């Protein structure tokens, strides 16, 4: 469902002032991530997907960190600080007071630590609320272990009459397995009226938002529950165990989604896909693949096994094997891996190749160009169709500054070359094996920097006598020559 199904005014209040002590973290609880998004972001994504016009976030503990994350997500979200966590009713009260005028229409109250709650569920909750014509609709679920939750109290006819907090509940109420998720939809005018009248005469001495249900019932206003079958969506995170459990479940949902979109995932249990990733049909993901951040994979590409890509754009028909990459681009039909390291700013053209044990940083490798073996390419531009020999190093760093190098189109550089930046190899040029290229090479030239080979006969026998090498060298010589040399060889 989209915004169109409920064009009326909707305001969201996202509660996120709590401490999160059980995370035992220097990081605010709601900033812990699953599927590449912090929990507070998941909450904001859900409310914005439900057609909310105005969002107010209530922050408190670790407010600086949380505020920064909220502003980064959407600076239009209104933030209000709750100095002391006097309860969910108090939090909503100060959220309402932060607005220029009391809100009109409908208000969604949700939490910053319930990361699986979807926009679709919020939309369905809004529709149910409107169709039933209630003043309050709470999102509830039947759970096996309701310990700690507020219980949904119903009368003999099954009508909701109150929410009772665990600490305030009678034995009979404690036996109820229908729990308050804490997420609810309420008419704005009633909320403003009811929240101003909350009292703290309860076991925790707090202002309970949940008391607005009993108040509505007492005033004869219609209230009800929207029971969610999908209990995962109502689960909050209080510790790292829950974070991991919900993270795995969200990943299961994401892998299921992409499989339904035509992606082959050989082993969903070892494949991790962040929320913001996009994958085309007929992509194959092999075991141990992690697609993170804003990674995009084009049609027909095969990724993995054992590959981690963060913010990497992979074209169509590419192959990426046992690779670690971030902030990089891999062209159509290009091949990468195994054991390749693509650092930020790597751009590999169509049909290009980055092969085994190759590290690339801040470099462009043109269409059809290849860096097949054992190389470091840093701050270089390699032209289309060029081939870089095995064991090549782009020496980009002079100890103070980084410099760029350029290899021309269809250049063929040989094995074990060092390009001392800044240097330019012209189009169609060649280099000899073992060359250290310090000066520019004109187009079409062959650059050779290694000296002419010199063989110093008998050097081992003279300088390393009585070694296994000397013995082997002697045994390799013809019978007649198997005496020790009498003269000192020249040079060493």
Q: Which of 39, 152, 179, 328 binds ligand UD1 (CB under 6 A)?
A: 179
Active site residue 90: no
Measure the CA–CA gap between 8 and 364, rounded to whole angstroms. 50
Measure the CA–CA gap between 243 and 232, rounded to whole angstroms. 12
- Residue closer to ligand UD1 by CB (options 181, 414) is 181
CB atoms within 10 A of CB 54: 17
107 membership: H or E segment, kind and range: strand 106-111
Measure the CA–CA gap between 338 and 229, rounded to whole angstroms. 44
- Of residues 128-167, those binding ligand UD1 (CB under 6 A): 149-150, 163, 165
Question: Binding of ligand UD1 at residue 232 (CB under 6 A)?
Answer: no
Residue written as token pair 């505020």: 67
In angstroms, give the least distance from the CB of 419 to Ca ion.
58
Region binding ligand UD1 by CB under 6 A among candidate stretches 116-124, 175-183, 266-274, 342-350: 175-183
* DSSP H stretches of helix in 335-376: none
By beta-carbon distance, which residue lies closest to ligand UD1? 150
In angstroms, give the least distance from the CB of 84 to Ca ion.
17
In angstroms, give the least distance from the CB of 205 to ligand UD1.
12
Q: Which of 6, 37, 90, 324 binds ligand UD1 (CB under 6 A)?
A: 90
Question: Binding of ligand UD1 at residue 236 (CB under 6 A)?
Answer: yes
- Residue closer to ligand UD1 by CB (options 149, 258) is 149
In angstroms, give the least distance from the CB of 236 to Ca ion.
4
Q: Active site residue: 61, 373, 403, 410, which one?
A: 373
- Of residues 209-248, those binding Ca ion (CB under 5 A): 236
Measure the CA–CA gap between 438 and 80, rounded to whole angstroms. 60
SS3 assignment, position 341: strand
Instruction: Choose the contact partner of 179 out of Ca ion, ligand UD1, none; CB within 5 to 8 A by kind.
Output: ligand UD1
- Residues 69, 12, 206, 195, Cα dihedral to 10°: 150
Strand positions, DSSP E, 331-369: 335-336, 340-342, 346-348, 353-361, 363-365
SS3 assignment, position 392: coil
What binding mask, one character per residue, do residues 5-34 give for ligand UD1 by CB under 6 A, x or -? ----------xxxx----------------
**Under rule CB under 6 A, how many of the chain's residues touch ligand UD1?**
27
Instruction: Choose the contact partner of 210 out of Ca ion, ligand UD1, none; CB within 5 to 8 A by kind.
Output: ligand UD1
- Token couple for 283: 């992509």
SS3 assignment, position 126: helix
From the number of C-beta atoms within 10 Å of its C-beta (0-12, 13-18, 19+), residue 7 rates as: exposed
Q: Are strands 136-142 and 54-59 parallel, antiparallel or unpaired?
A: unpaired
Question: Under the rule (CB under 5 A), what is the footprint of Ca ion?
Answer: 236
Question: Under the rule (CB under 6 A), what is the footprint of ligand UD1?
Answer: 15-18, 58, 82, 85-88, 90-91, 111-113, 149-150, 163, 165, 179-182, 208-210, 236
Active site positions, annotated? 373
């Amino acid at each position: 469902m989209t915004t169109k199904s409920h064009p009326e005014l909707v305001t969201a209040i996202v509660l996120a002032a709590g401490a999160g002590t059980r995370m035992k973290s220097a990081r605010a609880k709601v900033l812990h991530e699953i599927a590449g998004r912090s929990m507070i972001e998941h909450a904001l994504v859900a409310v914005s997907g439900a057609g909310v016009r105005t969002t107010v976030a209530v922050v408190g503990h670790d407010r600086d960190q949380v505020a920064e994350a909220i502003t980064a997500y959407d600076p239009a979200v209104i933030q209000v600080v709750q100095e002391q966590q006097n309860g969910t009713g108090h939090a909503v009260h100060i959220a309402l007071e932060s607005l220029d005028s009391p809100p009109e229409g409908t208000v969604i109250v949700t939490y910053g630590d319930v990361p699986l709650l979807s926009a679709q569920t919020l939309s369905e909750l809004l529709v149910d609320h409107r169709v039933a014509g209630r003043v309050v609709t709470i999102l509830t679920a039947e759970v096996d272990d309701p310990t700690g939750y507020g219980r949904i109290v119903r009368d003999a006819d099954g009508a909701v009459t109150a929410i009772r907090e665990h600490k305030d509940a009678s034995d009979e109420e404690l036996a109820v397995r229908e729990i308050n998720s804490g997420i609810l939809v309420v008419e704005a005018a009633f909320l403003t009226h009811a929240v101003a009248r909350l009292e703290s005469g309860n076991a925790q001495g707090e202002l309970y938002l949940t008391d607005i249900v009993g108040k509505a019932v007492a005033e004869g206003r219609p209230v009800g529950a929207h029971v969610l079958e999908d209990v995962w969506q109502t689960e909050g995170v209080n510790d790292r165990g829950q974070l991991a459990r919900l993270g795995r479940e969200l990943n299961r949902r994401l892998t299921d989604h992409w499989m339904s979109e035509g992606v082959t995932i050989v082993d969903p249990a070892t494949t991790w896909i962040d929320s913001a990733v996009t994958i085309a049909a007929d992509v194959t993901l092999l075991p141990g693949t992690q697609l993170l951040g804003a990674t995009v994979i084009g049609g027909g590409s095969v990724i993995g096994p054992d590959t981690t890509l963060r913010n990497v754009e992979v074209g169509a028909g590419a192959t990426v094997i046992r690779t670690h990459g971030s902030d990089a681009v891999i062209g159509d039909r290009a091949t990468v891996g195994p054991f390749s390291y693509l650092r930020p700013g790597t751009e590999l053209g169509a049909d290009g190749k980055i092969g085994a044990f190759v590290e690339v940083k801040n470099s462009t490798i043109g269409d059809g160009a290849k860096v097949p073996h054992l190389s470091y390419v840093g701050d270089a531009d390699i032209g289309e169709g060029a081939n870089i020999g095995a064991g090549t190093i782009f020496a980009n760093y002079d100890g103070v500054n980084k410099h760029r190098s350029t290899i021309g189109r269809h250049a063929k550089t040989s094995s074990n070359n060092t390009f001392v930046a800044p240097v330019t190899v012209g189009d169609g040029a060649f280099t000899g094996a073992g060359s250290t290229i310090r000066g520019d090479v004109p187009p079409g030239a062959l650059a050779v920097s290694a000296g002419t080979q010199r063989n110093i006969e008998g050097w081992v026998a003279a300088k390393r006598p009585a070694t296994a090498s000397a013995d082997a060298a002697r045994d390799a010589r013809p019978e007649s020559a198997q005496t020790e040399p009498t003269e000192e060889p020249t040079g060493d």
